[in-house]
Structure 1
Amino acid sequence: MRFSDFHPSVADWFRTSFEAPTPVQSEAWREIGSDQDVLIAAPTGSGKTFAAFLCAINDLVEQSRSRPLAEGVQALYVSPLKALSNDIERNLQAPLEGIERWLKEHGETPSGIRAMVRTGDTPPGDRERMRRRPPQVLVTTPESLYLLLTSDSGRNILGGVRTVIVDEIHAVAGSKRGSHLALSLARLDALVGRPPKRIGLSATQKPIRAIADFLTGGRTCRIVDTGHQRERDLALELPQSPLTPVMANEVWEEIYDRLEQLIETHRTTLIFVNTRRLAERLARHLAERIGEEAVTAHHGSLSREHRLNAEQALKSGRLRALVATASLELGIDIGHVDLVCQVGSPGSISAFIQRVGRAGHAVGEVPKGRLFPVTRDDLVESVALLKAVKSGQLDAVMIPEAPLDVLAQQLIAEVSAREWECGELLELVRQAWPYRDLSGDRFDDVIAMLSAGYATRRGRRSAYLHHDAVNGRLRARPAARLTALQNGGAIPDHFDYDVVMLPQGFRVGSLNEDFAFESLPGDIFQLGNTSYRILKIEQGRVLVEDAHGQPPTIPFWFGDAPGRSDELSAAVSELRRDVAQRLDSGGPDAVQQWLQDDGVDPVAGRQLTDYLAAAEAALGCLPTRDC
């Protein structure tokens, strides 16, 4: 398919909105026009999402010229983040409105295309409206897709899907969440009958052939690879005081002051941190400097309304800065961002590229990022990270091999929706790439566990399936579907307490269970840059009122610390090895000159050299993969 092949209403909207198609869009349209699946690998801000969506919208417009569009999803968009799903749904309204306007001006019948979003944040009223009148375009998450495939109403909505778009596919492929999604896509193929076309999108994919296999389950896949490299304005930012193993409060004040200077010299600044506690802490200190109306926090423990308002406030220019965790890491359109600051190494090359890509996200712009090391070891990792990005390295995605806990969950869900013959169900499972080599014996073991359960003093428990071994058929027991719906997904559960604002009664976010246990009525804490006073602590709920800006404590949340990727660890090892060689041959001056020639700030180079030289003198050698 070429641009000239689009319906005039679609082409007219595109021409009035953009100067011309980008190279990745032109190449993607040509491949999507074929009947095969397509994987698009291109830098952030290259227009790859619209490249996929415009073809699906064009197909719907062409259909509507010959007959009214049937109710039911034909284009399904799956993203790993709820915020990204909400953003895509909003951005789809512009082309749909432009197309309808063109059709009206030219006296043609409206297309009737409707787009809706279905995530865990979707209100019950919107879910009911979707059930009664399904849209043609549905934007959702892997977990919500699983729920739709497990419920009767959801299966009715998805029965006519023709195109599946999986965005930011690298973010799920390397985890059990990706295995869960692969099984959901295989279940969707079985539901539809004729497998829908799959289109995968990402800016950071390695190895790209493995990602293509993950997307398609091993079927033939066309790959559009324009690379991930682009011009970037990257630099280190260090406080005036030397870095230490643990940063003192006085040095943190220097970090806050420098962030204030950067915010004042840019229109909009996005600041990434690695923990929710640090997001709240930074937001508070920056609010004291630039005003509470100019900055706020954005993370997963804040309410949906707060997160959406923060995204729209930054997009409209009402916010000067937004402090976020990975909740804004992927391709969310939050308007024009001039600068991205990363406080502390993110521990991953791909994560840093994604985060810096939020700045200069439009076509042709240069992303600008500043990296703030917070300790001496963090400085070493940060220098290695910038060198790795400059040399074009990426983190490799390691796809898990047939996780059986995910398989058990999906088997219960699928059998609760319809009866299956065991051999046919095994073939369905093998269509998902992580389970391509699953043996019949392993499959039978999982079926035996799900059908027999386990013995307790009060009888057998967790027997969710009935296995007819004579005829080789499976059907669900009464509690199977409810269990599948209540325990779906591969994201670990955290026992958080909802924070409820009184007297209005609405939810403002959540607190970690341990923080709630340690708190007392009358305590004041901060959530989303707002102070709240605790009125009462109930089971699972913390009732609060507005504290009207009184000094708060910063909550804490327990969770998994971000690990360092293998590729970044190799880059750190290589940096230490190179520094050790130059220390032995030319001394500290040779190391500093080498770092300066490579673009490292002289102050950072001197601190790094002094730290590693002292480490080598104390240890006898610098720790690397070889020493």
Structure 2
Amino acid sequence: ERLNEVSSVWPVKIGLSATIEPMDEVAKYLVGSAPDRKVQIAKVRLNKKIDVQVLSPAKNIIEDEGLHLKMYNLMSELIQEHKTTLIFTNTRSATERVVNYLKEKFPTEYGDDNIAAHHSSLSKDHRYDIEERLREGTLRVVVCSTSLELGIDIGFIDLVIMLGSPKSSSRALQRLGRAGHKLHSISKGRFIILDRDDLVECCVIQKEMNEKKINKIRFPQNCLDVLSQQIYGMAIYKVWEEKELFDTIKKSYCYHKLSRKDFLDIISYLAGEYSLEKNNVYGKIWYDPITKQIGKRGKLARVMYLTNIGTIPEESFVTVKIAPSGESVGVIDESFLGRMRKGDVFVLGGKKYQYRYTKGMNLYVSANVTRNPNIPSWFSEMLPLSYDSAMEINHFRKLMREKLESNISKNKTLEFISKYLYVPKDTAEAIYNYFLEQHSFLEIPHEDLIVIEKFRDEGKNYLLFHTLYGRRVNDALSRAFGYAIGSMGGRDIEIGITDNGFYLAGERLTIKRALEELNEENLEKILKEAIDKTDVLARRFRHCATRSLMILRTYKGRSKTVGKQQMKSHFLLAAVKKISNEFPILREARREVFEDLMDIEGAKLILRGIKNKKISITLIETRVPSPFALHLVMQGHTDLLRMEDKQAFLRRMHELHVKKILEEGSLK
């Protein structure tokens, strides 16, 4: 809109994408929401052929003891069959691990001259060098996390391997599009799975890819920190009439629902009406309430604006120290700290530590912890499963439950799985056996049924919710239920989250009352209270304060470190809470937590379904967790267990499941 304002010729905007939906909303985003804006959508039918398959390193991924070794053998075989291979992992640590293992296990085939890692933690020059070598064709294989997903020219690649689920069909298609990047070439991709949940997830995503079902994109609305930055920039350009400024902003699709109150709150903040001078936050614009005009304030406005604009937050490492001695034990990503709650147990350097409190860029912990970890170190890096793909998996679960309850023959069910998911018979059989085991042991949760397992382990009661809605929805639901139960007298509630569900652990877990009291209407209020004193809100507030220019990264040629920014943010947060709990930048920090980190709207949909009886809930007591629950139970232990130990754990649990099923005579 600012470009339209200054252009002598109306700019023509062209948007291109092969993996984006919904088209109508994207078109509005591109041209704006003003009624006179015309846009044409050219939806060209995708004729480009894709060749995608889900591969397992072993026929029986539960009972095979050499699964880890076979995975690398399969990977190497695929690499050797092709000229250039791009391998996607879902974390930076996995990227480095795959490269190192391939070089160690196959020293004659892989070395520094033909294999490389590419991820965001590497320097820009190093990444550029790898991209150049890819274009020149000197690299045989590149392993990356998400850094090579987007459409940069990286030369001809004839195979893409996705190690584990990409978590959405649009991301999978984006990755697949790196292969066969020529007009008539076939885009060839292979999923390599390592467990049964991954198998089902990848097969459903493969189905979405084959049927051209692309997950919907979501555009952030009414971001008040970015609005502050933009209004400041507009005020530097010229003196505005209040109505003219508001109308121009409203033409942008991202602000077409902006309320006049929010707009005036931001004007008040920028004009210095919130008395934050003692915290070194000064007015940046002037506003005349009589003439209704707005303009810049100060001679350094343009320099200050140009040296502090931008929306990508600076991240840093947090030093982990033992309390109260202050002994340093290592560092963690700031984003990892943002995902933790006080009391969480995590692993660093092979040892367990419990989160106590933070001070600036230091995290203070307790050592000699006996409790099991409940959050893995790679948790903050992992991509969340998209809500659309999650609902596709839920629908498949419902269909499988219906087949198994109807006593349809195994052969007919296998035929259905093969046809529905576009998979060969051996893959269909692995999926069938997994669902049969769950169906015989407990119940199959699905889109219309949430199963809650109740069991006791290590002196604690566990409530395990089978809510396959993606991690963002589960983050909102788990915090809300955990806070509600804690408010009813349950102390020290431990929470664990995955895409497939979440668990609550503690001494007293009054779930029935929490289910009755938590609803769509009060979810936001409960979450607001639940996150009020958390690190996740404090760090998001720093990001928002920096974007809105409350905190200046650079001033008169001097730069503030992330640590100093965080310290200033700490005092600013306390100050704005005293002024108003609805201070606009604080509200924006909450919006980021609720909508970007979590999916509060998705969580509201689930609670609405429960209230309307469209989603039923069943609570079942078990001695051991069900087959569908194993990865949720195990997730916190993954930093302590080697791959072989994980497989041994899964085999042991599988044997317990089969034993119980046979004892009860329920194996169908």
Length-normalised TM-score, structure 2: 0.54
Would you say the 8 A contact 2:90–2:381 is kept in 1?
no
Unaligned runs of 5+ in 2: 319-330, 338-348, 350-359, 362-375, 451-668
Between 1:211-220 and 1:456-465, the stretch displaced more is: 456-465
Would you say the 8 A contact 1:204–1:228 is kept in 2?
no
User: Secondary structure in 1 aligned to 2:198?
Assistant: helix
Distance 1:398 1:279 in 2: 28
Between 1:235-244 and 1:263-272, the stretch displaced more is: 235-244
Would you say the 8 A contact 2:276–2:282 is kept in 1?
no
Aligned CA distance change for structure 1 residues 474 and 235 (closer, same or farther; 3 Å): same
1:570 aligns with 2:391: yes
Would you say the 8 A contact 2:268–2:274 is kept in 1?
no
1:239 aligns with 2:54: no
Tell me the alpha carbon deviations over residues 53-97 of structure 1, each in whole angstroms, 9 at most, x when there is no partner.
Answer: xxxxxxxxxxxxxxxxxxxxxxxxxxxxxxxxxxxxxxxxxxxxx
1:261 aligns with 2:77: yes
1:602 to 421, 425, 443: 425
Would you say the 8 A contact 2:86–2:141 is kept in 1?
yes
Would you say the 8 A contact 1:612–1:622 is kept in 2?
no
Equivalence for 2:256: 436
1:198 aligns with 2:20: no
2:314 to 474, 478, 493: 493
Which AA in structure 1 matches 2:440?
Answer: A
1:584 aligns with 2:402: no
Between 1:593-602 and 1:324-333, the stretch displaced more is: 593-602
User: Secondary structure in 2 aligned to 1:292?
Assistant: coil
CA deviation after TM superposition for structure 1 residue 587, in Å: 4.4
Which AA in structure 2 matches 1:283?
Answer: V
Distance 1:385 1:192 in 2: 44
CA deviation after TM superposition for structure 1 residue 215, in Å: 0.3
Distance 1:466 1:560 in 2: 42
Would you say the 8 A contact 1:453–1:462 is kept in 2?
no
Distance 2:153 2:187 in 1: 14
User: Secondary structure in 1 aligned to 2:283?
Assistant: coil
Equivalence for 1:350: 170
Which AA in structure 2 matches 1:451?
Answer: A
Distance 1:419 1:279 in 2: 51
Equivalence for 1:189: 4
Distance 1:616 1:558 in 2: 29
1:335 to 121, 137, 155: 155
Which AA in structure 1 matches 2:79?
Answer: I
Distance 1:418 1:597 in 2: 63
Distance 1:385 1:302 in 2: 30
Aligned CA distance change for structure 1 residues 251 and 453 (closer, same or farther; 3 Å): farther
CA deviation after TM superposition for structure 1 residue 610, in Å: 1.3
User: Secondary structure in 2 aligned to 1:318?
Assistant: coil
Distance 1:625 1:333 in 2: 44
CA deviation after TM superposition for structure 1 residue 384, in Å: 0.8
CA deviation after TM superposition for structure 1 residue 560, in Å: 5.0
Which AA in structure 2 matches 1:238?
Answer: S
User: Secondary structure in 2 aligned to 1:270?
Assistant: strand
Tell me the alpha carbon deviations over residues 131-169 of structure 1, each in whole angstroms, 9 at most, x when there is no partner.
Answer: xxxxxxxxxxxxxxxxxxxxxxxxxxxxxxxxxxxxxxx
Which AA in structure 1 matches 2:413?
Answer: V
Which AA in structure 1 matches 2:159?
Answer: L
CA deviation after TM superposition for structure 1 residue 490, in Å: 3.3
Would you say the 8 A contact 1:454–1:462 is kept in 2?
no
Unaligned runs of 5+ in 1: 1-185, 498-509, 517-524, 526-538, 541-554
Distance 2:335 2:263 in 1: 39
Equivalence for 1:226: 44
Tell me the alpha carbon deviations over residues 486-531 of structure 1, each in whole angstroms, 9 at most, x when there is no partner.
Answer: 543333432159xxxxxxxxxxxx9946999xxxxxxxx9xxxxxx
Distance 1:286 1:558 in 2: 24
Aligned CA distance change for structure 1 residues 458 and 437 (closer, same or farther; 3 Å): closer
Would you say the 8 A contact 2:285–2:294 is kept in 1?
yes
Aligned CA distance change for structure 1 residues 483 and 578 (closer, same or farther; 3 Å): farther
CA deviation after TM superposition for structure 1 residue 452, in Å: 2.3
Structural mapping, 1:392-431, within 5 Å: 392-431=212-251
Distance 1:227 1:330 in 2: 21
Identity %: 31
Equivalence for 2:90: 274
Length-normalised TM-score, structure 1: 0.58
User: Secondary structure in 2 aligned to 1:211?
Assistant: helix
Equivalence for 1:519: none
Distance 1:453 1:378 in 2: 53
Which AA in structure 1 matches 2:21?
Answer: K
CA deviation after TM superposition for structure 1 residue 253, in Å: 2.6
Distance 2:401 2:277 in 1: 63
Aligned CA distance change for structure 1 residues 612 and 457 (closer, same or farther; 3 Å): same
1:321 aligns with 2:321: no
Would you say the 8 A contact 1:346–1:352 is kept in 2?
yes
Between 1:358-367 and 1:406-415, the stretch displaced more is: 406-415
Tell me the alpha carbon deviations over residues 587-615 of structure 1, each in whole angstroms, 9 at most, x when there is no partner.
Answer: 44432232234531333222211111111
Structural mapping, 1:109-188, within 5 Å: 186-188=1-3
Which AA in structure 2 matches 1:562?
Answer: L
Would you say the 8 A contact 1:267–1:338 is kept in 2?
yes
